[in-house]
Chain A
Amino acid sequence: MLILSSMLTNGIQAQTRLISGYVTAAEDGLPLNGVSVVVRGSLTGTITDDQGRFNFQAEATTDTLLFSLVGRQSKTVFLGGRSTITLTMTLGTTWLDEAVIIGYGSQTKRELTGAISTITAEQFKDVPLLSPDQALQGRAAGVFVTQNSGMPATSINVRIRGTNSLNASAEPLYIVDGMPINTGNYSGFFLGGQSLNALSDLNPEDISSIQVLKDAATSAIYGSRASNGVVLITTKRGKIGPTNIDFKAYEGLQNVSKLLDRLSGPEQEALVNEQRGAIGLSPRYPDPLSAPTTNWQQEVFRTAPIREYTLSTSGGNQQTQFMMSGTYFRQQGIVLGSDYQRGSVRLNLDHQFSQKLTFGTSLTLSRSLNNRINGDNSIIGVLSAALLLGSHIPVRNGDGSYALDPFSNVSNPVAEGTEITFNSRTSRIVGTTFAEYRFNPTFVWRTNVGVDNLILKEDVFYPTTTFNGARANGSGRSDYRQDLNWLLESTLTYSVALRQRHTLTVLVGAGLQESALEVLSAAATNFPGNSITRLTAGSVKTGASSDGSRWALTSFFSRLHYSFKEKVLVTATLRTDGSSRFGSDRRYGIFPVGSLGYVIVANNRYSNSVLNFLKVRTSYGLTGNANIGTLTNQTPALGLFGVGASYLQQTSLVPQQLANPDLSWEKTQELNFGVDMALLNSRLSLSANYFVRQTRDLLQQRQLPLTSGLLTITENIGALQNRGVELEVTSTNLQQSQWKWSTNFNISFIRNKITKLYGGTPFSAGSANWIQEGQPIGSFYGYQVERIFQTQAEIDALNQVNRSMNGSTAVYQSEATRPGDIKFKDLNGDGRITSADQTVIGSAQPSFYGGLTNNITYRGIDLSVFFQFTYGNKIYNITRSSGENMSGQNGQLTTVRDRWTSENPSTSMPRAVQGDPNNNRRTSDRFLEDGSFLRLKNLSIGYTLQSNLMKKARLRTLRIYITAQNLLAFTHYSGYDPEVNTQTDQSLVAGTDYLGVPQARTLLLGMHVGF
């Protein structure tokens, strides 16, 4: 690389000439400062000064200049021999000339041959965001974002163009200012299904734009990590001009928007007595009517504050531009005991040392403290315990201690929320530094060094007042994890424009990346009281361990972009990655892609025509996914013995994993057809894509027969397909001096299908999910309810039929089946209910999803309304399955009032019976619900002080706003929140509500002052 670059410095000695000029605003004739002036097809150029003037040395052959400035329409000027240019620029940019960040460069939408969705800071400025991935929700076609839990800083699922993997990560690659960052869950603690989200260390306030690279044409430059899509996050940078100081703040309150209806204490006790009576047991509660009633939901839900303050400053002169910011964010959870706060600072600097040498940096430091609580998918969570414990149990006993149900093993929700300490502290540094050298106008060399250092320290303490702490006289554990991820990348770009017809840009680059994880963990029990929670106080040290892992990636990449008259566009990309994770014979992968675009109509000048711009484009290419292994096992290809459980206080060595020297990437072939158009004086723009993605060699934990003594082997097996249509529409409905109204709409129709599994064998995942060829990921599998048995005669008749078919003692369902129990469907017609009577009963995949934003401005008042929707997906509601089981001590929903009894021959709710001998609760369509919803995700109303008043107040800007988040949801789902999933780390588990925490409804007041 270096050798190649040194050759080029001595290369071409071009003839140059001085080009100068003057740029003014069309509306008032005042000089324009900061206009970028670039020779088209090259990186040569300059910026106008505060007098609107510019001058620079350009190649003698230069014939076309491109002028651009944020907020103005870009202009292309043909020199035709002139060396002085005077130009006026009109307000507003056309959609086509917006720069789009792509991997290792940028392009205008006009030139783009791939599928990219862009989200700008403007779109989420009034929305309280904890992490950048939240900004993607509902705002980009083909991007499906599920906020699985309402608990702060828990993980979020982002699926770009469908779920693309079964066992490897299906999350996109996130790149912040050129640095591929650590993502995912680093927590060493299982606190229910919700895990930590490493993206929450990044402050969304610092983001200027997010580009989602969706198809192979745009993502393949990231090769082996691209097949789940790539999210490029660009942070705000300083601009030439006066120094701005901005202060932004909001304060709000959050609460739960819905409570479930549960039985009162007396009803609960009467029900338990009835259950017991059904199997001949004596009543447990002699006098149910005297039972107290605790509203457990009210005990654990609360109105919780959310607030953020950001102070930032930016500006710069011709040589140096800067952006500095500091933000404090705090969000308490709506469930007792949950509290998240983060402080972060950022410094982005750019310096032009000379015409040739530029360097700069992006650096952020953040620190967060997350007081976590046990979450869902666990019977000891705060909300889960509140839902599982019966209303007849008081919060506290007469002596002040926390009350428990002596017949149940559910903990006390209030104790769970207030007594246990789960502190997760992160310290994070993400920084990149670059140097860029222009050997001459056509050759640019750029080197980028990036570091992402993530430190997570977790402390857990169970005091003696809790379920877990009581038996061990206090129990604590501390984990320390550090992941140091560094990157070194160099690129060389050659750009040339020939005779105003041909432009050619060639990029070549190479990179190294390495990640080193360190893990330390210690645990202790038997503490002297609950006041000292550090492990040093625990007299029995129950654990001490240290572990680590490394992975590395080496890459070579190149891209060629050619355009003929801005009409024919060709792009070809090639990347080669070597990964440490794979078998020594399969380490290197090659990822090529080609794309073509043809601009059919481009008549900006004739703005009266209906069709202003029309481009068709297509791409086909190969990308990969290498994201397997666990945090501490980054060598899935090796046959290993690991450290097993100890015995007799001696360490053991046990078989851990089987070798697979052929282990390699998942490969995704993607075909994309797209069309971009602008209509009606560019007031309506539309971008549509059709894609087919075939992913093969899926990295899978293939389940081994258990008789092997091992559980799984990591193999490249199976295939799946995602295909779909995405549509993004932006329209300026009204553009008058006082009224402005614009609409953004996106919708996606994506179909997922598993096309091949190992041996064609289906398997189960999570509680009710099912993986089967021909079915989508997230299918549900179970029995089908036929009806409720009303008489013993019906049951006897079925048993009789089965005896004649299957032998003397056989029964249809269970020996204990009685009237009031559910009759499940005998799908295979063998006269009895066996596991073979299960079938695919639905899927968590939506038929379509999308978002709709309307922005209306009248003078200083602005209104933004954002709806998010999904349609056709199913949810398996385990919360209801436990709330309607009528077989044990669990707190029950009021829906069980309609249960079958001989007096109330219900046809929908079965009878109450201890132990559920008929297994009415088995996985069936009884608990499968429609998960479609339309949600008013965000509603903001703002007022910006008019400019004349601002001048008096010596302010640059002043805006106040009110935002309501999750204000309304239209859904048939009976649980708290249709946007739910219990286990976020597994792609195979989808659409399952296991006592999940709903998202908060938030109302906040915000302001922005600019000096």
Chain B
Amino acid sequence: MVLSVLIEACATFLDKKPESSVPSEEAITNLTGARASIIGAYANLASGYSISFTIFPDLLADNLAHNGSITDLDQFKSHNILSNNGYVSSLWQSLYQGINRVNYILEKVPLLSDPAFTDQKRIIAEAKFIRALLYFHLIRYWGDVPLIKAPTKTAENLLVSRTPKEQVYTLVQTDLREATPDLPEAAIGRATQSAAQALSARVALELQDYAAVAALSEAILQRRQFSLVSDYRMLFDTKNTIESIFELQYYPTSANGLAFWFFPTALGGRNEVGPRGAGSTLESAYEPGDRRKIASISPGNLILDGKTIPAGTGIKYSRISSQDDNVQVIRYAEVMLIRAEALAQIGNQTESLELLNQIRQRAGLGALPIRDKKELLMAIEQEKRVELAMEGYRWFDLIRTGRAQDVLKITDSKKLVLPIPQQEILINPNLVQNEGY
């Protein structure tokens, strides 16, 4: 009797609850939980774009040099990436972390029924949009990747194998198609119908479905919601311009490291990457008179916040003090350029060139004369390089067009995909390493 009371008391005494977490099964059981969870998925994207998603495609290509001390990044520059490279591992981890977050939402949120939950469909659509974006990154970096559509709830059955990328593309396309109607037409920092269509167009371009690219971009053009800002620099000085389609939002309290990585130590940065240095030819890629050059790379006499930015510093992300530069994941200029590329491919050179010249005109450059298809495609590639430099495009464009080996002088074609992280291969025998690693 006494003993049982004692044991009972002990059991209560030993019941200690966590103070800043909730049990998993209670997390997404109401609308506030669902709303907080989709914020978690966006936070994952914001974290991915805070360095790696934004910088790596330019670093792997010829738009950024590695000037800092992180040796793992030298491997990116020399295309001699070892499978234990820490940045490869964290890139992979970040993408699948986001996928798990949205998979949780896609499993739990449809089960809720609360009349007050007016944004239920929107949250599901946003989760699908984010999942598509994350998988699109995965396929382009690694090729075939494990396709996971359910949240991780136990430590069992986690030894997945790689799914042919065609199947992953199918999910990406389905997610985007299903997401589009349920997304709002406009929103700051969150997915919209235009964002989903633009991403669909980007995916279709990758799959060389030029008709689809043309149709999707047409839909965005028709909406007349977006236009080019007149001053290119405004894109980086001002947040959420008329050109912005999907822009990740950062604040001093949830900052990113972009300006920190680009800026010299004397200004509080770490000088890790920059458009000037070994392995980058970006500065010479601008045509004479291109206004985008001094808006993207400091000419040496630029003063921001009372501090002179040394010549050669990348300045698209320049809020070194508050570190809250937004990242434009999709902007209208990209939609115009991928539309131009698709139109060139399907033979509509006139409209293609017109789009291209609009971009050039804004940059202070003259219109290009009509050329043949091949020349036009090369002109679009060049225009995209300088227009979207340091915004996370160049590597993927060169891979897509099959020109990466040529332009970047990579002799081993196996180095066009990243290695699957070594630790992942060790833990999961079902994962087969990419050839050449």
Per the 8 Å Cβ criterion, residues 68-102 of B in contact with A are: 68-69, 71, 74-75, 77-78, 80, 82-84, 89, 92-93, 96-101
Distance, CA A408 to CA B264, complexed state (A): 8
Indicate which residue in A379, A407, A473 contacts B321 across the interface (CB closer than 8 Å). A473
- Mark contacts of B1-16 with chain A using CB atoms, 8 A cut-off: 1 yes-contact digit, 0 otherwise: 0100000001101111
Which residues on the A side are within 8 Å of B14 (C-beta)? 552-554, 578-580, 587
Per the 8 Å Cβ criterion, residues 397-431 of A in contact with B are: 404-411
Do A922 and B82 have beta carbons less than 8 Å apart? yes
Chain A contacts to B: CB under 8 angstroms:
3, 279, 281, 379, 388, 404-411, 467-473, 512, 514, 525-526, 540, 542-543, 547-554, 578-580, 587, 632-635, 638-656, 658-660, 702-711, 713, 715, 759, 761-764, 809-811, 814-816, 834-835, 885, 887-890, 914-917, 919, 921-922
Which residues on the A side are within 8 Å of B154 (C-beta)? 658-659
Q: How far is the CB of B209 from chain A (nearest CB, A)?
A: 28
- Mark contacts of B421-432 with chain A using CB atoms, 8 A cut-off: 1 yes-contact digit, 0 otherwise: 111101110010
Distance, CA A941 to CA B299, complexed state (A): 68
Do A890 and B436 have beta carbons less than 8 Å apart? no
Do B268 and A647 have beta carbons less than 8 Å apart? no
Do A646 and B253 have beta carbons less than 8 Å apart? yes
Partner-contacting stretch, out of B175-183, B360-368, B406-414: B406-414
Do A578 and B80 have beta carbons less than 8 Å apart? no
Which residues on the A side are within 8 Å of B22 (C-beta)? 640-641, 653
Across chains A and B, which 10 residue pairs bring their CB atoms closest together, nearest first? A709-B100, A471-B268, A652-B40, A641-B27, A409-B270, A654-B40, A652-B39, A639-B24, A653-B36, A470-B268
Do B252 and A705 have beta carbons less than 8 Å apart? no
Q: How far is the CB of A239 from chain B (nearest CB, A)?
A: 39
Q: A635-B21, A809-B411 are in contact. List 12 more A-B contacts (CB 8 A).
A: A467-B265, A471-B268, A525-B252, A543-B253, A550-B16, A660-B155, A706-B92, A706-B96, A706-B424, A763-B427, A835-B422, A919-B74
Q: Which residue of B lies closest to A523 (CB)?
A: B253
Do A809 and B414 have beta carbons less than 8 Å apart? yes
Do B68 and A710 have beta carbons less than 8 Å apart? no
Do B16 and A635 have beta carbons less than 8 Å apart? yes
Distance, CA A889 to CA B264, complexed state (A): 14
Decide if B184 is an interface residue (CB 8 Å cutoff): no
Do B265 and A652 have beta carbons less than 8 Å apart? no
Decide if B272 is an interface residue (CB 8 Å cutoff): yes
Do B254 and A915 have beta carbons less than 8 Å apart? no
Decide if B207 is an interface residue (CB 8 Å cutoff): no
Do B71 and A471 have beta carbons less than 8 Å apart? no
Indicate which residue in B33, B151, B152, B310 contacts A653 across the interface (CB closer than 8 Å). B33
Distance, CA A632 to CA B33, complexed state (A): 22
Do A704 and B155 have beta carbons less than 8 Å apart? yes
Q: How far is the CB of A379 from chain B (nearest CB, A)?
A: 7
Do A552 and B16 have beta carbons less than 8 Å apart? yes
Q: Which residue of A lies closest to B97 (CB)?
A: A709
Decide if B267 is an interface residue (CB 8 Å cutoff): yes
Partner-contacting stretch, out of B42-50, B193-201, B329-337: B42-50
Sort chain B's interface into a size bin. Answer: 35 or more
Which residues on the A side are within 8 Å of B412 (C-beta)? 809-811, 815
Which residues on the B side are within 8 Å of A763 (C-beta)? 423, 426-427
Distance, CA A526 to CA B253, complexed state (A): 13
Which residues on the A side are within 8 Å of B146 (C-beta)? 707
Decide if B114 is an interface residue (CB 8 Å cutoff): no
Per the 8 Å Cβ criterion, residues 255-294 of B in contact with A are: 259-260, 263-272, 278
Q: How far is the CB of B41 from chain A (nearest CB, A)?
A: 8
**Given A708-B100, A815-B80, A914-B278, A645 and B254 contact (CB-CB distance below 8 Å):** yes
Which residues on the B side are within 8 Å of A279 (C-beta)? 278
Do B20 and A762 have beta carbons less than 8 Å apart? no
- Mark contacts of B29-41 with chain A using CB atoms, 8 A cut-off: 1 yes-contact digit, 0 otherwise: 0000101110110
Distance, CA A740 to CA B54, complexed state (A): 74
Most interface-central of B44, B260, B265, B426 (chain A CB within 10 A): B265
Do A707 and B69 have beta carbons less than 8 Å apart? no
Distance, CA A547 to CA B18, complexed state (A): 10
Distance, CA A525 to CA B322, complexed state (A): 9
Q: How far is the CB of A766 from chain B (nearest CB, A)?
A: 12
Do A655 and B152 have beta carbons less than 8 Å apart? yes
Q: How far is the CB of B67 from chain A (nearest CB, A)?
A: 7
Which residues on the A side are within 8 Å of B46 (C-beta)? 645, 647
Decide if B242 is an interface residue (CB 8 Å cutoff): no
Distance, CA A889 to CA B154, complexed state (A): 47
Q: How far is the CB of A917 from chain B (nearest CB, A)?
A: 5
Instruction: Jot down 25 A-B pairs with beta carbons below 8 A, ordered by A.
Output: A406-B266, A409-B271, A471-B263, A512-B13, A549-B19, A580-B13, A632-B19, A632-B20, A633-B18, A635-B21, A639-B23, A641-B26, A643-B21, A644-B40, A652-B43, A655-B24, A655-B100, A660-B155, A705-B160, A707-B96, A708-B152, A709-B151, A763-B427, A915-B77, A916-B74
